[in-house]
Amino acid sequence: MAISRKLRMGMVGGGPGAFIGPVHRIAAEMDGKIQMVAGAFSQSAERSRQAGERFGIEPARAYADYRQMIESELKRPDPIDFVVITTPNHLHLPIALAAIEAGIPVMSDKPATATYPEAQALEAAVLKSGLPYGLTHTYAGYAMVREARHLCASGRLGKIRKVAVEYFQGWMTKAVETTGHKQAAWRADPAQNGQGGAIGDIGTHAFHLLEYISGLQVTAINATLRSVVEGRRLDDDCNAFLRLGNAAAGTLACSQVAAGELNEMRMRIYGETASIDWRQQDPNRLIVKNLDGPEEVHHAAAPYLGVDALAVARVPSGHPEGYLEAFAVLYREFADAMVAWQQGQANPLPATLPGIVAGVRGMRFIDRVIESNRKETWVEF
């Protein structure tokens, strides 16, 4: 069945200098199911208009305020179908609530909110509204992450015993937040970012992906946080022990002061008979190490993969897909769910698409890490 028309997306955030706004635009539109038609790109009307022009948005739909966007769009014959939130974290909740109150579904950059209580509030609102709410934990869109998830669920590894998750970056090795680096500046400011530094920015990605792939939930954490760079107000380096369901255990490490690392997220999950190893920087390969028998390298789009991985492949094996394509997978799933929802289906989001539940767990993760670090021992999740 064909989609009769493209879904119309309105963006909040993504103004001049933003990194993630344009990424959302490309990802949303990649599979031909969504078109960005409006935006509150900046709180400055002039800058919002400039951004809109660059995005090819008509000037009238480039708003200076997200409330205004919602109000104005609802009056149009061709209003936005959903809002995407790409602002600094402290604005996630009010924007999401405003959209939900107006009956508009939401796609949100992560983390869901700036604090754990905010996330709980948002969850309540989302559940009450019945509106689709998606959270762009980008890495969940990679084909080989889907394959990893499938292998864990299928029993291919045997019972899972051990996990080793890391997410290392080096870009905050110096005090870049003090030198005009826009992305660093808001992330280093607790008021805009929330209480989690590296753990919020990238630790939540790693945490989500661990639960997403393994199918296990973290039940206790023992974490240690540091702010390595002098004067930095939030953590930039974290190591955590984890206990998970079903007697599994392991580690989660994240850092933004790992000099020389780019965006090194790696997931290793060890079962009784095999283990998997996936690196975001080499995303089209999934390594399966067998206790008995040769190591295997599984390639994206290869016919021996499971249906979930094959469902998201756009090009033949050997033609690399990357970060934008992973992002676009989430949008494609959200678009399909939107259409189903518009046609009356309740709870249309597929299990493969992160939503508010993942959002709440992510904020809980930050909360628990901070608490554990304070106590210098284990805390229940």
Residues 324-363 binding a second copy (CB under 8 A) are 324-325
Interface positions, 5-24, toward a second copy (CB under 8 A): 5-6, 19, 22-23
Nearer to a second copy, 67 or 162 (CB): 162
Q: Min. distance of Cβ 171 from a second copy in angstroms?
A: 8
| Choices 40-48, 118-126, 148-156, 264-272 (CB under 8 A): range interacting with a second copy | 264-272
Q: Min. distance of Cβ 125 from a second copy in angstroms?
A: 32
Q: Cα separation of 266 and 287, whole Å?
A: 11
Give the Å distances, CA to CA, from 345 to 107, 284, 313.
18, 34, 26
Nearest C-alpha neighbor of 277 from the set 203, 202, 166, 169: 166
Q: Pick the binder of a second copy from 29, 192, 311, 379 (CB under 8 A).
A: 29
Nearer to a second copy, 53 or 71 (CB): 53
Q: What are the backbone dihedrals phi and psi of residue 127, each rounded to the nearest 5 degrees, phi first? A: -65, -40
- # chain residues binding a second copy, by CB under 8 A: 91
Q: Pick the binder of a second copy from 270, 331, 334, 341 (CB under 8 A).
A: 270
Greatest CA separation found in the chain?
64
Q: Cα separation of 249 and 352, whole Å?
A: 24
Nearer to a second copy, 76 or 319 (CB): 319
Q: Is 317 in the site for a second copy (CB under 8 A)?
A: yes
Q: Pick the binder of a second copy from 10, 39, 271, 306 (CB under 8 A).
A: 271
Q: Pick the binder of a second copy from 153, 164, 175, 310 (CB under 8 A).
A: 164
Give the Å distances, CA to CA, from 124 to 87, 118, 148.
21, 10, 31
Q: Min. distance of Cβ 366 from a second copy in angstroms?
A: 19
Q: Cα separation of 130 and 289, whole Å?
A: 42
Q: Are 63 and 69 in contact (CB under 8 A)?
A: yes
Give the Å distances, CA to CA, from 213 to 29, 140, 352.
26, 8, 10
Q: What are the backbone dihedrals phi and psi of residue 21, each rounded to the nearest 5 degrees, phi first? A: -60, -55
Interface positions, 128-147, toward a second copy (CB under 8 A): none
Interface positions, 188-247, toward a second copy (CB under 8 A): 222, 224, 226, 228, 237, 239, 241
Beta strands 237-244; 218-226: pairing state = antiparallel
User: 111 preceded by cis ω (within 30°)?
Assistant: yes
Q: Pick the binder of a second copy from 46, 101, 272, 371 (CB under 8 A).
A: 272
Interface positions, 57-116, toward a second copy (CB under 8 A): none
Q: Min. distance of Cβ 102 from a second copy in angstroms?
A: 27
What is the dihedral sign for C-alpha 22, 24, 26, 29?
negative
Q: Min. distance of Cβ 204 from a second copy in angstroms?
A: 17
